[in-house]
Structure 1
Amino acid sequence: MTKRDSFTPTRFELTRHSGAFWRVTFDNGPLNLIDAVMNVELHRLIDEIEDDGQVAVVLFDSANHEYFLAHYEAGSDMSPLDALEPSAASPWLHWASLLIRLSKSPAVTITALRGRARGAGSEFALATDIRFASRERAVLGQFEVAVAAIPGGGPSTRLPGIVGRGRAFEILLGGEDFDGELAERYGYVNRAVPDTEFVKFVDAFAARVSRFDVRTLAEIKGFVNAASLPDDVALKAEMRAFIEAVDREPATTLIGKGLKAGWGQPGEFELNLGSQLAKVTGAR
């Protein structure tokens, strides 16, 4: 197979610790917002993993200890997605496709949550194989219900198999934040680790797994995926429902209220988004 030219991402740093162990460190402005450029670069990352064939583990972390991935940037320029295969339905489907590819990647994917991961940030974490959280610093949540929107990146389809039906409803319908300790109790993450031990623990686990035979790891992942991953059709249907929801009332008005109040901007509103967005949009 002919390998693609190497690339230099702008929204994250790619560190190849070894042929088998890669690290992706998100670093995109003060909130680590997801945008179309990051979407394209993550698709390219998965291309590289698939082309390489020797990557056993990819560890995702963040240079910003307040935000792992805050959420998708509302109103961001979609034109960079033109670099990907065109989607007749909507460019938003590239996000759903990315998360499907991430889950099915031959490499074991590990999320190191040290900071906030809400909305699409939470969706990204849920699409990875293993999630570790800093007990004191991690925050996860799906806030979309507060703006009359359906989460688009698969949490309604993935969460029931991860945390159970009732807890999936609680996460999605409550729109509240979950700290590392509660996320561990619910199964939202594998384990919550004290922050003082977090980096050492996650790095050691990722390095340990990366030393095992890459083919064996991929085969184990394949069997687990076959038993546990939701259907691609359902995941893409969820994104289509999101696209429809954000284009109708009351979502358009509520999203505007949230943006005016500080959604997507550094400050107290974003730090406490789970409670603040619901308050501004009238849920409480």
Structure 2
Amino acid sequence: MSHFTITKPSPSFWRASFSNPPVNVFSVQTILDLRELVDAAERDSDLTVLLFESANPEYFCAHWDLADDLSGLAGDPPTPTGQQAFVDVLIRLSKLPVITVSSIRGRARGAGSEFVLATDIRFASRERATIGQFEMTTGVAPGGGGVSRLPRLVGRARALEILAGADDFDADLAALYGYVNRSIPDAELDRFVTAFAQRVAGTDRGAIAELKSWVNATTLPEDEEFGPQSDAFFSRVAGPRVSGWISRAFEQGLQQPGDLEENLGARGFDV
């Protein structure tokens, strides 16, 4: 895998560290790597907890790579869920028969936010985590599942605030809304998350699978919800408003460390 480094503290506990410099954007290669990881997690009968973290303390996952598209997957066979590749791998991630945890340090926006929303549990660094769905600043609603997952976590009004306002949320406010489980002081984050993961790792895989199947039945969106959102997203991305925003944003430093990426929630409407 190019973008994930996997370590296994024990047979039942895996850590996946994401790295795609300079700002950890999600790309076609990330999809391919995540597919491989999900395949491995489905097959391994010992695994009970999978922890995601970032090798870059400033960027957990900045957003989708706006210089990339899904054309690199055009020759692939149909996905297992029938959805487009990004949505497909997130659906499969959400339904893994193991507990998935995101330890968020740095920025997680757009596709990065949708990725952590597809994991079961989210812990965020109080001082260093930023999370949000900035897509509406470009003129398009999110297309990777955030529109369906957020209302089930935070409620209708707060989901509309997050999605339509397209602003950044710090860890404390995200925890208050239910966007993340907890805001944890940065100095304590790694110890807390590791202890939680090790606790879950001691649980029987079959029991975890049963637990998740019952919780999933009442909390996960139906797969059919995602298709229209994804179709609308790609239709608008192909239009002049969104493509113009992307061109201007790259001129102003998009996908490079600096003011725009650091403050995308505040600056997005001004690009």
TM-score (norm 1): 0.91
Match of 2:260 among 261, 269, 274: 269
What are the within-5 Å matches in structure 2 for residues 38-117 of structure 1? 38-76=30-68, 78=70, 80-81=72-73, 84-86=76-78, 93-117=84-108
Paired with 1:18 and 1:144, the residues of 2 have a C-alpha distance of 38
Contact kept, 8 Å, 2:108 with 2:132, in 1: the verdict is yes
Shift of 1:54: 2.0
Q: For residues 228 and 235 of structure 1, do their structure 2 counterparts lie closer, same or farther at Cα, with a shift above 3 Å needed?
A: same
What does the per-residue CA deviation read over 1:175-224, in whole Å, with 9 as the maximum and x for residues that have no partner? 10000011001100000001111100000001100101111011101100
> 2:150 aligned with 1:153, yes or no?
no
Question: Structure 1: how far apart are the matches of 2:109 and 2:180?
Answer: 13
Conserved in 1, the CA contact under 8 Å of 2:12 and 2:47?
Answer: yes
SS at match of 1:243: helix
The answer (yes or no) to whether the contact 2:22–2:255 under 8 Å persists in 1 is: no
Work out which of the residue numbers 194, 203, 210 in structure 2 matches 1:219.
210
Instruction: Tell me how far apart the structure 2 counterparts of residues 79 and 199 of structure 1 sit (CA, whole Å).
Output: 37
Greater Cα shift, 175-184 or 233-242: 233-242
Shift of 1:81: 2.6
Counterpart check, 1:163 vs 2:154: yes
Identity %: 47
How many Å apart are 1:78 and its aligned residue? 4.0
Moved more, 159-168 or 239-248: 239-248
Partner in structure 1 of residue 22 of structure 2 = 30
Q: Which among 183, 186, 191 is matched to residue 177 of structure 2?
A: 186
Report SS of the residue matched to 2:10.
Answer: coil
Moved over 6 A (4+): none
Q: State the Cα deviation string for residues 226-250 of structure 1 (Å, max 9, x = none).
A: 0100110102221111111101232
Q: Is the 8 A contact 1:49 1:55 kept in 2?
A: yes
Q: Which residue of 1 aligns with 2:126?
A: 135
| Partners of 1:55 and 1:80 in 2: CA distance | 31
Alpha carbons of structure 1 residues 257 and 63: separation in structure 2 relative to 1, 3 Å = same
| 8 Å contact from structure 1 (residues 21, 207) kept in 2 | yes
Once superposed, what is the RMSD of the aligned Cα atoms? Answer: 1.6
Q: SS of the counterpart of 1:135?
A: strand
